[in-house]
Amino acid sequence: MAKLESSFKNMLVSLFGVTLIASAALGLVYDATKAPIAQTEAKKQEMALASVLPEYDRLGDVIKVLPADGKDSIEIYPAYGPNNEEVASAVKSYTYSGFSGYIEIMVGIDPNGEITGFQVLKHAETPGLGSKMNDWFSNAEKPGQNVIGRSFNDGAIQVSNDGGKVDAITAATITSRAFLDALNRANRCLDSAWETDAESGATQQINGKNSDDDVASSEQ
């Protein structure tokens, strides 16, 4: 078959044909992979929840809080024990101050303000340096760097360079600061969520704008 000449009509028809077939193919693949992608995400969430929380019977409704110093809301997953008492809450928190920007973490905080566990969900930190967050901050053999079991009651958790008590990852202080920033943000939002809860008596979803003000006031 001879090659089509570059007339306007030929160009139009062939480009239209190529893009039409391409979009049809993509539509099919999108449909086929939609369910597996959603499943993978849900499984990841479930595993993260299980790894940061102590044993629990059921999860409460998700609470969304908008922190004063951020644009994205933070999700709180309260977990309850067999007698309906709160065992801990998992908070999905984030920070933008990582060495490569965005870091998303899930952290479990019990009613006494102690960290029950954490998991880094998303990050783009330097491999071999900042990417060690998960192992470094949960190393039970090195109490200086382990954050699990630490309490927020004495104020924000900080790295030792800033006068705090946590040893930063060697050669990755910026990442360590960002990680703790995400932890502290989780705690602030959790506090503000419970405060609003107590004041208004509402137990469900918290209006984003109100909680914004609350976080701001609780930080002053």
Partner 1 sequence: MNQWKNFTKGFIKENPVFVLLLGMCPTLGTTGTAINGLGMGLATTFVLVMSNLVVSLIKNLIPDKVRIPAFIVVIATFVTIVEMVMQAYLPSLYESLGLFIPLIVVNCIVLGRAEAFASKNNVKSSVIDGAGIGLGFAFALTILGSVRELLGSGKVFDITIYPENYGMLIFILAPGAFIALGYIIAVINRLNKKNA
Sign of the CA dihedral running 157, 162, 165, 166:
positive
Residues numbered 126-155 forming contacts with partner 1, rule: CB under 8 A:
126-129
Check binding of 47 to partner 1 (CB under 8 A).
no
Instruction: Please name which of 206, 198, 189 lies closest in space to residue 68, comparing C-alpha atoms.
Output: 189
In this chain, which of 15, 42, 47, 202 binds partner 1, going by CB under 8 A?
A: 15
Interface stretch with partner 1, choices 19-27, 56-64, 85-93, 185-193 (CB under 8 A): 19-27
Question: What whole-number distance in Å separates Cα of residue 183 and Cα of residue 174?
Answer: 14
Cα dihedral sign for 47, 52, 56, 60?
A: negative
Nearer to partner 1, 126 or 158 (CB): 126
Q: Give how far Cα 26 sits from Cα of 13, 29, 30, Å.
A: 20, 5, 6
Q: Please, what is the minimum distance in Å from the beta carbon of residue 33 to partner 1?
A: 4
Q: Based on the shown chain and the rule CB under 8 A, indicate whether residue 14 belongs to the binding site for partner 1.
A: yes
Phi, psi for residue 30 in degrees, rounded to 5: -60, -45
User: Which lies closer to partner 1 via its Cβ, residue 11 or residue 216?
Assistant: 11
What is each CA distance from 62 to 46, 99, 196, 205, in whole angstroms? 13, 30, 15, 7
178 vs 181: CA distance, rounded Å: 5
Nearer to partner 1, 3 or 209 (CB): 3
Tell me which residues in 151-190 interact with partner 1 (CB under 8 A).
171
- Sign of the C-alpha dihedral computed for residues 46, 52, 53 and 55 taken in this order: positive
- Is the Cβ of residue 126 or residue 173 nearer to partner 1 in the bound state? 126
Q: Taking contact as CB under 8 A, which single stretch among the options 16-24, 56-64, 85-93, 184-192 is the one that binds partner 1? A: 16-24
Given the rule CB under 8 A, which residues bind partner 1?
1-7, 10-11, 14-15, 17-19, 22, 25-26, 29-30, 33, 36-37, 40, 44, 122, 124, 126-129, 171
